């Protein structure tokens, strides 16, 4: 893909992320329907993986999801808080 197309895609995703639950729904769908589940990948590449290691990877996955999703919620909240009031004085 060229740079202009990536900018269009990134702009569209940014607009959608500002909507109510789009980012949350996207992450849920990513977790449920990812092309190659993490557990299958671990079994294929590391057959002797321990449950603690798998739990670590899942925890890191959710933490990385929160790093992206929580700031979008904060930005949306601050935009509502900072926007001018429509009530006449």
Q: Pick the residue with more confidence: 53 or 23? A: 53
pTM beyond 0.75 = no
Expressed in percent and rounded to 5, the helix, strand and coil fractions of the chain are 75, 0, 25
Residue 14 in this model has a pLDDT that exceeds 70? no
Selection from 85, 41, 80 nearest residue 49 by Cα: 41
CA–CA dist 34, 32 (Å, integer): 6
Selection from 42, 67, 69 nearest residue 55 by Cα: 42
Domains of the chain by residue range = 3-82
Q: Pick the residue with more confidence: 50 or 34? A: 50
Residue 8: predicted pLDDT: 73
Residue 20 in this model has a pLDDT that exceeds 60? no
Per-residue pLDDT averaged across 14-24, rounded? 64
Q: Give residue-wise pLDDT tens across range 39-63.
A: 677 677 777 767 677 778 778 888 8
Give the model's confidence band at 29: pLDDT under 50 very low, under 70 low, under 90 confident, else very high: low
């Amino acid at each position: 893909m060229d740079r202009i197309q990536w900018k269009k895609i990134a702009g569209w995703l940014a607009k959608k992320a500002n909507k109510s639950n789009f980012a949350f729904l996207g992450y849920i769908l990513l977790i449920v329907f990812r092309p190659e589940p993490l557990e299958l990948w671990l079994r294929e590449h590391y057959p002797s993986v321990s449950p603690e290691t798998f739990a670590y990877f899942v925890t890191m996955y959710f933490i990385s999801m929160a790093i992206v999703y929580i700031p979008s919620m904060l930005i949306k909240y601050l935009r509502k808080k900072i926007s001018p009031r429509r009530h006449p004085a």
